[in-house]
């Protein structure tokens, strides 16, 4: 089964004003919302800073040339070339949400540079040209870097814009290997400012390029995430992201759809509802799934005729021969003595899932056809409709929500019969046994795999907690990021585009 994933969104921001209350409009059709808390933003910020640094270095800064007059020597031509930023130590950094968007600021950053220097001059004392060259290491200290990002939705994907980007260098220390001392001083005087602004420009340009790339990645996030060969999660973003001063919220359509046979959706009704909020602010992430999401999965299973169960083995095999039914349905035995049988169980309409504060309940509508087997083939003799009321327990399993069901009770009625009336009260214990020993294990084998939560590849849910509330399930959790996914360091989380395939 494909277990892909989507967005725990990176950084983000909003083109809307800060709001304290989030409301979804009914027509916007968002059934899953994702909220990243300040703690989650801090975690992402650290990842981004790490990725940014490793994508920036080594950074080549354009060469600088200068002619200047030195007392007694006259005019000296100086060149510094091959200026390379090879190390960056980022000082304290923070991410802050505001009306303008998301601000990321890193202060007290130090850059280490290496470069080659060269000078030449000629004077009346020495009419031949004198020149020398060597290398130098430069430390640029107190670099302040700031970015402001805007985030919106465009055609169902995220659109990241750079609203502001700046880099400011405070101090420069130059250490020459070799060279005359007069040159050292001249060099500092002549080049300090230019090296500083070259570093500022180069870093700013690199960050701008990086944001463009990040935007491309975000826009390329898939809108469809396969659950299996036939079913996918509609991960289209709807509505603009919403922000408070300490969190960002996103909404996606969130429903599952069958590829071949899109279901006629009756669950596309939704009350205006606040976005998820985890009461525990120490969690990085909150994901709220509306019960419509679970109903959409159930509906696609129904459409895919996933539940067509021909039962030809049960613990008490005597019930698969008419002889076993001799006393319960005597007319069956009389008409087909000692014939083998099988049972054909199918869903008669999509299961209905209801989530309440204390319970995840399901009503499952099935038809059970009693088939008699003879040499001419399968003869359906009667059909019993079963309405099974079940409750499920839900748990977080990796990045999936998995479940298991147990039957609370069931009711039955005769839908049709070719063998006259049946005494249902006699059949009921048999049905109960079949439900418990055949039906429940079958359904649980599917529920056990679960459905994926919309988490970007590379991130893993950790210390997740589940909260059920009226008509939705909330997952509140931290995430970890697997460093192994990022060794191919490109600017920012290239793994965003990939999927995992679990079995
Ligand atoms: C330029 O700088 C890099 C990094 O310090 C160094 O590896 C390379 O050899 C230098 N190139 C020249 C031509 O000096
Ligand atoms: C930069 O240079 C300083 C002094 O040589 C050194 O302590 C520091 O570790 C270097 N940082 C990086 C990132 O290379
Ligand atoms: C966020 O806003 C709320 C009220 O609007 C305020 O009480 C809270 O202190 C603010 N938090 C921060 C971190 O600014
Ligand atoms: C996916 O969701 C978007 C936004 O709600 C919707 O416009 C689109 O029709 C959905 N796609 C399918 C195939 O249901
Ligand atoms: C099982 O029953 C369904 C109708 O409920 C029918 O469409 C299907 O063909 C039956 N399968 C077999 C193998 O008899």
Do residues 83 and 192 touch, judged by C-beta distance below 8 A?
no
Residue owning the nearest CA to atom 10 of ligand 1: 82
- Among the atoms of ligand 3, which is closest to the Cα of residue 245? 1
C-alpha to C-alpha distance for 450 and 502, rounded to whole angstroms: 12
- Among the atoms of ligand 3, which is closest to the Cα of residue 20? 5
Backbone angles phi, psi at 380, to 5 degrees: -70, 130
Which of 100-109, 199-208, 255-264, 408-417 is least confident? 255-264
pLDDT, tens digit, 9 for 90 and up, residues 442-466: 999 989 988 989 888 888 999 999 9
* Location of structure tokens 């960056």: 88
**What does the pLDDT read at residue 334?**
94
C-alpha to C-alpha distance for 461 and 476, rounded to whole angstroms: 9
pLDDT, tens digit, 9 for 90 and up, residues 24-45: 344 467 899 999 999 999 999 9
DSSP 426-488: HHHHHHHHHIIIIIHHHHHHHHTT-EE----TTEEEEEEEEEEETTEEEEEEEEEE-GGGGSS
CA of 466 to the centre of ligand 4 (A): 27
CA of 369 to the centre of ligand 5 (A): 8
Res. 276 pLDDT band, cuts 50 70 90? low
Please state the three-class secondary structure of 70-122 as a single string: ECCCEEEEEEEEEEEEEEEECCCEEEEEECCEEEEEEEEEEEEEEEEEEEEEC
CA of 317 to the centre of ligand 5 (A): 21
38-221 and 307-452, same CATH topology: no
Domain boundaries, the chain: 38-221, 307-452
- Among the atoms of ligand 5, which is closest to the Cα of residue 383? 5
Residue 157, both tokens = 């994907």
Instruction: Establish how many alpha carbons lie within 13 A of residue 350's alpha carbon, considering only the half-sphere containing its beta carbon.
Output: 20
Residues touching ligand 4 (Cβ under 6 Å) are: 29, 234, 236, 238, 253, 257, 262
Residues touching ligand 3 (Cβ under 6 Å) are: 20, 245-246
Arithmetic mean of pLDDT over the chain? 83
Domain 38-221 has CATH 3.15.10.10: yes
CATH class assigned to 307-452: alpha beta
Q: What is the DSSP letter of 423?
A: -
Candidate of 57, 82, 113 to mutate for ligand 1, largest count of ligand atoms within 8 Å of Cβ: 82
Q: In terms of Cα–Cα distance, which of 422, 295, 448 is closest to 368? A: 422
Residue owning the nearest CA to atom 11 of ligand 2: 87
Residue owning the nearest CA to atom 4 of ligand 3: 20
Which of 238-242, 303-307, 350-354, 413-417 is least confident? 303-307
CA of 139 to the centre of ligand 2 (A): 8
Task: Provide, rounded to the nearest whole percent, the portion of the chain with pLDDT above 90.
Answer: 51
CA of 86 to the centre of ligand 2 (A): 9
Predicted model pTM: 0.81
220 forms bridges with which residues in the sheet? Answer: none
188: helix, strand or coil: helix
CB neighbourhood size of 371 (10 A): 20
Q: Is 65 in the pocket of ligand 2 (CB under 6 A)?
A: no
């Amino acid at each position: 089964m494909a277990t892909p994933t989507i967005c725990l969104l990176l950084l983000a921001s909003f083109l809307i004003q800060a709001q304290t209350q989030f409301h979804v409009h009914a027509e916007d059709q968002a059934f899953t919302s994702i909220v990243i808390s300040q703690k989650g933003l801090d975690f992402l910020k650290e990842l981004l800073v790490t990725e940014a640094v490793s994508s920036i270095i080594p950074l080549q800064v354009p060469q600088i040339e200068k002619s200047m007059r030195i007392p007694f020597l006259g005019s000296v031509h100086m060149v510094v070339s091959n200026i390379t930023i090879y190390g960056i130590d980022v000082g304290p950094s923070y991410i802050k949400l505001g009306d303008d968007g998301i601000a990321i600021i890193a202060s007290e950053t130090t850059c280490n540079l290496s470069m080659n220097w060269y000078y030449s001059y000629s004077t009346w004392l020495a009419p031949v040209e004198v020149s020398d060259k060597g290398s130098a290491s430069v430390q640029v200290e107190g670099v302040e870097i700031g970015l402001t990002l805007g985030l919106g939705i465009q055609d169902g994907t995220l659109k990241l814009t750079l609203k502001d980007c700046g880099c400011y260098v405070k101090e420069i220390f130059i250490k020459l290997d070799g060279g005359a001392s007069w040159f050292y001083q001249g060099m500092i005087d002549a080049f300090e400012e230019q090296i500083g602004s070259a570093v500022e420009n180069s870093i700013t340009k690199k960050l701008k390029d990086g944001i463009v790339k990040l935007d491309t990645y975000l826009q390329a996030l898939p809108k469809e995430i396969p659950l299996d060969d036939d079913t996918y999660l509609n991960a289209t973003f709807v509505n603009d992201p919403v922000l408070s001063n300490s969190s960002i919220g996103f909404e996606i359509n969130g429903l599952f759809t069958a590829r071949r046979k899109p279901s006629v959706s009756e669950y596309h009704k939704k009350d205006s509802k606040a976005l998820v909020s985890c009461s525990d602010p120490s969690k990085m992430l909150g994901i709220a799934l509306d019960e419509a999401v679970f109903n959409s999965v159930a509906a696609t299973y129904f459409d895919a005729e996933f539940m067509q169960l021909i039962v030809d083995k049960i613990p008490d095999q005597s019930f698969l021969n008419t002889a076993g039914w001799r006393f319960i349905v005597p007319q069956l035995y009389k008409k087909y003595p000692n014939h083998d049988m099988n049972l054909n169980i199918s869903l008669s309409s999509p299961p209905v899932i209801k989530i309440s504060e204390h319970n995840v309940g399901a009503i499952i509508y099935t038809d059970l056809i009693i088939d008699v087997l003879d040499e001419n083939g399968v003869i359906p003799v009667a059909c019993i409709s079963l309405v099974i009321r079940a409750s499920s327990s839900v748990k977080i399993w990796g990045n999936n929500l998995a479940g298991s069901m147990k039957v609370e009770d069931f009711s039955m009625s005769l839908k049709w019969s070719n063998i006259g009336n049946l005494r249902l009260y006699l059949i009921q214990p048999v049905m109960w046994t079949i439900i418990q020993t055949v039906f429940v294990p079958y359904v649980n084998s599917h529920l056990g795999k679960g459905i994926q939560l919309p988490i970007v590849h590379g991130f893993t849910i950790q210390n997740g907690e589940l909260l059920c509330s009226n008509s939705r399930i909330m997952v509140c959790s931290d995430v970890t990021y697997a460093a192994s996914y990022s060794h191919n360091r490109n600017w920012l989380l290239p793994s965003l585009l990939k999927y995992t395939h679990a079995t």
